[in-house]
Chain A
Amino acid sequence: MTRTSLLSALFVAGLAVGHSATAADASGQMIAAQCNGCHGFEGKSVGDAPSLHGRSAALMAKAMMDFKSEARQATIMNRIAKGYSDAEIQNVAEYYANLK
């Protein structure tokens, strides 16, 4: 590890501690891996659940925020979306949007 990357790692760690009382946010890759169980590997569904692969980040984030607030009703996604912070929803939306 170079000196600068060490310093920046320490800086990020410092921020994470001051983040909030709740747990640190997980990355888009980590969260998406968990969604894949229902939405298929890399979000390419082979069943009736919708595919998430390559969806626009804005639409995905809106759908998740609507599930979270119950503005949109669904069979399971309300129960799932409530498990993530707004930042995590942004992370996972961007992750799927950037998949090629």
Chain B
Amino acid sequence: MSIKRRQFIKAAGAAGAVTGLSLSGLRFASAGSGKHVVVVGGGAGGATCAKYIRHFDSSVKVTVIEPKTEFATCFMSNWVIGGLKEQDWITHTYGDWSAKHGIDVIHDLVVDIDADKQTVTTRGGKTVSYDRLVVSPGVDMKYDTIDGYSEAASHLVPHAWHAGPQTTVLRKQLEDMPDGGLFVMASPPNPFRCPPGPYERVSLVANYLKRNKPKSKILILDAKDKFSKQGLFTAGWEKYYGYGTDDSMIEWRSRANDGTVKAVDAETRTAMTTFDEIKADVLNVIPAQTAGHIAHKAGLTDDSGWCPVDHMTWESKMHKNVHVIGDAAIASPLPKSGYAANSEGKVCAAAVVAMLKGNDAPTPSWVNTCYSLVTPSHGISVAMVYDSKDGSVSKVKGSGGLTPKGGDYTLEAVYAESWYLNIVDDMFG
């Protein structure tokens, strides 16, 4: 309170020369330098937003707080699991990026947000104040939705739904699996990060097994009755992996068919559904998900476990001056994808820059595209362009959709890799 009062008096002293400024304008004027935006999380959403704030208005000071010094993208981590790429290829660092764009990076974990005082506190004991805060913490796994599953158990039975060490563990387990072995995936209920992700992973595991361990089988135990790009995936599986025949490498068991995994025994790599018990050679358990812990801690989530926001600005409906983007936000009809996080990051950056000047946010526009590989040279995609209707994200009628019948799957695979190189350059370059 006394600080605010002092700042006000100091600013009021300077105000003689700058008439006509609003009260909040005076407070900022007292800081002497540009406004300060803090970004929590340097992943797909956070890195994009930080970079574009500086790109749109270099007078804004930006600090990113991210515990990791190396960020492995989830996108294309299936390519690493399938043996198409090495872990290095999906791993990015912050040093050059920070220098190039004049962004401060603090490698620490945010443990608390005080939306009234406009400060964040880190595990390392730092308190950082902000004019506006952007939170992009991604997802946390709801381990407690599957009996016997936990953070600890996930080291034996990885989810690999955060890229990094678990990506390497799952790859290694596949390499160590005997020919004739069984790979079991527990696929999560909606909503979750990257709807086509589990099925791209299965495709690339099948591609690896077909070439190296052709007697092996894959079983998907699904908590859903349908999935993203299902027609395109199953057509590809029929073409390459015998799907639908007695000799199919891949079997998909839907929720209605007792697909939901209720419990696991990590030691014996066993998955339990209501009526069945399946012992796997490699078990990949992807549980239900929720907004990253800090979003819950800071009171940014609603009963759904995700963060309600104003789509025009991505400002939280729970706390003023705090914006939430990426997987943690309720963004529907935008999916929880890297492209969507990147797209939201830019709309949020433009809004933050405008709002810091006391202006209205500009008319937004969003894009999402998710490429997936069925084999290394058979790519498929789903795309959509979005605008705003009555203040919410809305699909532009007539745009987007799936790879059309007779589409060029070979070229789509080429452009999938091109997409990765460009979006990573757009975020971390």
Q: List residues of chain A with CB under 8 Å of any chain B CB.
A: 23-27, 29-31, 33-41, 45-49, 75-76, 79-80, 82-84, 88
In the complex the two chains form, what is the Cα distance from A47 to B415 in whole Å? 8
B302 at the interface (CB under 8 A from A): no
Whether A37 touches B385, Cβ cut-off 8 Å, given contacts A30-B350, A76-B415, is no
In the complex the two chains form, what is the Cα distance from A48 to B419 in whole Å? 8
In the complex the two chains form, what is the Cα distance from A72 to B398 in whole Å? 17
Whether A30 touches B365, Cβ cut-off 8 Å, given contacts A37-B426, A48-B418, A76-B415, is yes
A34 in complex: contacting residue of B346, B394, B415, CB < 8 Å: B346
Main secondary structure of the interface of B (DSSP, over half): mixed
26 A-B residue pairs with Cβ-Cβ distance under 8 Å, sorted by A, are: A23-B388, A26-B363, A26-B365, A27-B362, A31-B365, A34-B346, A34-B366, A34-B367, A34-B385, A36-B422, A37-B369, A37-B422, A41-B425, A45-B422, A46-B421, A47-B418, A47-B420, A49-B418, A76-B369, A79-B383, A79-B401, A80-B369, A80-B399, A82-B399, A83-B386, A84-B396
Other A-B contacts than A23-B394, A80-B385, A82-B385, 4 sampled, CB-CB below 8 A, are A23-B363, A34-B366, A46-B421, A83-B400
State the Cβ distance, A84 to closest chain B Cβ, in Å: 7
Q: A82's closest neighbor in chain B, by CB?
A: B399
Question: Does the CB pair B417–A47 fall under 8 Å?
Answer: yes
Cβ–Cβ < 8 Å partners of B387 in chain A: 23, 26, 83
Q: Mark B27-57, 1 if CB is under 8 A from A, else 0.
A: 0000000000000000000000000100010
In the complex the two chains form, what is the Cα distance from A13 to B362 in whole Å? 12
| Contact residues of B between 373 and 395, Cβ < 8 Å to A | 381, 383-389, 394
Cβ–Cβ < 8 Å partners of B384 in chain A: 83
Closest A-B pairs by Cβ, 7 of them:
A83-B385, A47-B418, A83-B399, A47-B421, A26-B365, A48-B418, A33-B346
Question: Does the CB pair A47–B419 fall under 8 Å?
Answer: yes
Q: A39's closest neighbor in chain B, by CB?
A: B422
State the Cβ distance, A59 to closest chain B Cβ, in Å: 21
In the complex the two chains form, what is the Cα distance from A34 to B363 in whole Å? 13
| Contact residues of B between 316 and 361, Cβ < 8 Å to A | 339, 342-343, 346-347, 350
Q: List residues of chain B with CB under 8 Å of any chain A CB.
A: 52, 56, 339, 342-343, 346-347, 350, 362-367, 369, 381, 383-389, 394, 396, 398-401, 403, 407-408, 411-412, 414-415, 417-423, 425-426, 429
Question: Does the CB pair A48–B415 fall under 8 Å?
Answer: yes
Q: B346's closest neighbor in chain A, by CB?
A: A33
Question: Does the CB pair B399–A38 fall under 8 Å?
Answer: no
Whether A79 touches B426, Cβ cut-off 8 Å, given contacts A26-B363, A38-B418, A48-B418, is no
Q: A84's closest neighbor in chain B, by CB?
A: B385
Question: Does the CB pair B399–A37 fall under 8 Å?
Answer: no
Q: A27's closest neighbor in chain B, by CB?
A: B362
In the complex the two chains form, what is the Cα distance from A83 to B394 in whole Å? 11
Cβ–Cβ < 8 Å partners of A29 in chain B: 56, 350
Name the residue in A27, A46, A79 with the highest tally of chain B Cβ atoms < 10 Å from its Cβ.
Answer: A79
Q: A33's closest neighbor in chain B, by CB?
A: B346
Q: B367's closest neighbor in chain A, by CB?
A: A34
Cβ–Cβ < 8 Å partners of A80 in chain B: 367, 369, 383, 385, 399-400
Cβ–Cβ < 8 Å partners of A39 in chain B: 422
Question: Does the CB pair B422–A47 fall under 8 Å?
Answer: yes
In the complex the two chains form, what is the Cα distance from A70 to B37 in whole Å? 43
A37 in complex: contacting residue of B342, B389, B429, CB < 8 Å: B342
